[in-house]
Chains A and B, each alone.
Chain A
Amino acid sequence: MKNIVFVLLLMVYALAAPAAREYSSGQLLDLPREYDNIPALYQGEIIGDIMARGENVWFNVSDGENAIGIFAPRELAAEIQTVGKYQQIGDTVRIWGEFNRACAEHGGETDIHAVRIEKIAAGYALPQPVSKFKIVLSVILALIVLILSVLDRKIQITSRRT
């Protein structure tokens, strides 16, 4: 029964969700009391990790200005495949949910409880260009270090003898 009520509530939210206005993280965090507990649409890149907590997940979405924590049922996040990290851009998602300035359920955290997540662009890996100049420089520096360390060693030994 509890599950049915939850699913029905989710559906009602999901239907109502597209009506929410889109906000940037800057808007939400600059005037958090104004937007507290209101339906919000937020868009950005998923960064870091998808952290499973029981039936739900936590992940963080950055719009380039700030990242905001998203709390969502596990099935909503099923579509997410790529997260942002070094040389990799994460999936870009659009999130409908309720913005909380200080969430009562999560110890006062600023978060968004998602009711709908839409992937609008898939993440991708960036090329890792290897600089030839740096390779040549490394070889030259290695030779210099080798010569200097031999000289240093010689001086230390001579100094110990005298």
Chain B
Amino acid sequence: MLIRPRLDDHKVVGFYLGTILTGVGCLMALPLLTALLFREWPALLNYLVSGLGALGLGLALRLLCFTKKEIGWLHGLTLAALFWLAAAAVAAWPFFLGGNYGSYLDSFFEAMNALATAGFSLARDLDHISAADNMWRHLLMFLGGQGIVVMALSFLMLRGAGGFKLYAGEARDERIVPNIISTARLILQISLVFLAVGTTALTLILRWDGLSWAQSFWQGLWLFMSGFSTGGFTPHTQSILYYHSWRLELVLLFFMFLGILNFRLHYAFYTGDRRELRRNIEAVVLFCSFLLAVFLVCAGLFYFRVYPGLGATLRKGVFLLGAGHSTAGFTTIYAGQFFREWPQLALLALMTAMAIGGSACSTAGGIKALRIGILFKALCQDIKRLLLPQSAVVAERYHHVKDYFLDDKIVRGAALVTLLYLAVFLLGALAGVCYGYPFMPALFESISAATNTGLSCGIIGPDLPIGLKLIYLLEIWGGRLEFTAVLGLLAYGWACLKGK
């Protein structure tokens, strides 16, 4: 029997939503300080009003919904889904007040893209936005990459034993260490160490490439936040093309690859288990799929002479494929050039790489390498069953930090999420077709949105019809949560309506 959530259940949801909103309000102190540093007075006021507004709303919700009830599984899923919506809704306020976006929906789209590390932007004039806005866009992306729940568990110390339920709701069910709060803090620590190293490296490269020290630091910081989170925002409309630097592209490629690796793999590597990198199913799948996709992209580009010579072909092909596969979505070509200049072979390889995405417990999106590996192993197992005598017992194993036996439950879970992704890719593409776009570009944009890649072939822009904005928003939000939490939210809503 379906049980209708009681007032206390709503209070649990409201209370934790309020806690997250107070967190978002406090975070606005960082762009506020940036505005102060750059003497951007209108932007400073926008962040002051928005930050205080978010704090006020969050505290009011905490007071109204105060309860001692613990988080259950349905609360965890509902909250994870609502966290992202509520955080994006509030994070959009300073964008809207800044006047660089056509509407509140555009500002919300920007904030959701930042948090979900998608990287599409609807800013009307990105080259003239404030440093504070840039700080906020990239900070949201960095925090979103690690996960809102991870941040909440690290900083806000959410009460009780509900932490894991929230953590799992955010499409992360892997613990690096047994304690979930320690796992969250470890993820944050790994990211902060990389933030320091990465920002230094990028600052030096940008300085070498002719930017002033100050601009090298700020843009280095923002690019790292965006690259490691596999987000793809940049402070300029031309994305990485703005910098005209192969050195920068090479280093960003390295950071994007760090971003797509599972945090458990990072941890195993740093604790001295170097063999894990060669044995881990995700690392193997990522290595193979990247090599194959690079070969296909570069072969296509070279055969059709899209770029002059092998050097240029490799530079463009490897970087864009890396940006697509890692779901970072940085670009070094203009959006329209994908379908005007790239051959179908290269585009198909790029779209497949975007669909696969990165590792499970990482900052990347997509179907995830672990699921592809599991499905491949399941296929091998079935083929073996066909070839061997009926009485033979076929047991397939895979290595992911430790050895696992492949059972039907694991395969079903992987197949279900993969099917959901494929269905969403297709539905998003059909929506694009309904709005008059050709099928292939619509499919490209749909895959890019659902996998939180952010590479665009030119459809998504400030002039995008409202209906499509909403559809892509749903894809980005659902894709980030791997649909589980969205289904949990729907179940919560259904229980409210039909439960007894």
Contacts and interface: CB of A to CB of B under 8 A. Distances in A.
Given A86-B130, A144-B56, A137 B49 contact: yes
Given A57-B210, A108-B308, A108-B315, A130 B41 contact: yes
Interface in B33-67: 38, 40-43, 45-46, 48-49, 52-53, 55-56, 59-60, 62-63, 66
Contact of B212 (A49, A110, A135, A137): A49
Contacts of B313: 108
A145 B238 contact: no
Q: Which of A62, A103, A109, A155 has the most CB of B within 10 A?
A: A109
A95 to B, nearest CB: 15
A69 B238 contact: yes
B474 to A, nearest CB: 29
B309 interface: yes
Nearest to A162: B68
21 contacts: A47-B128, A48-B127, A60-B238, A67-B242, A86-B40, A86-B43, A87-B42, A102-B312, A104-B312, A107-B316, A109-B332, A110-B241, A110-B337, A111-B244, A128-B40, A134-B48, A134-B97, A137-B49, A148-B56, A148-B59, A155-B63
Given A108-B313, A144-B56, A152-B63, A48 B242 contact: yes
A55 B128 CA distance: 28
A87 B210 contact: no
B210 A141 contact: no
Chain B interface size band reads: 35 or more
Contact of B127 (A47, A106, A141): A47
Interface in A25-72: 29-30, 32-33, 47-53, 57-58, 60, 62, 66-67, 69, 71
A108 B307 contact: yes
Interface in A122-148: 128-131, 134-135, 137-138, 141-142, 144-145, 148
Main secondary structure of the interface of A (DSSP, over half): mixed
A86 B131 contact: yes
B210 A50 contact: yes
B291 interface: no
B312 A108 contact: yes
A120 interface: no
A149 interface: yes
B173 interface: no
A135 B275 CA distance: 58
Contacts of B38: 86
A52 B209 CA distance: 7
Interface string B299-314: 0000000111101110
A85 interface: yes
B213 to A, nearest CB: 12
Classify chain A's interface size: 35 or more
A97 interface: no
B59 A109 contact: no
Given A138-B48, A142-B52, A155-B63, 4 more contacts: A29-B336, A30-B340, A102-B306, A131-B42
B236 A48 contact: yes
Contact of A109 (B55, B131, B241): B241
B243 interface: yes
A151 interface: yes
A3 interface: no
B215 interface: yes
B127 A85 contact: yes
Contacts of A47: 127-128, 236
B6 to A, nearest CB: 20
A107 B243 CA distance: 13
A35 B284 CA distance: 44
Contacts of B242: 48, 60, 67, 69
Contact of B341 (A32, A106, A151): A32
B137 to A, nearest CB: 13
Contact of A145 (B52, B244, B332): B52
Contact of A53 (B131, B210, B215, B334): B210
B129 interface: yes
A108 B319 CA distance: 12
Interface string B205-219: 000011110010000
Contacts of B308: 102-104, 108
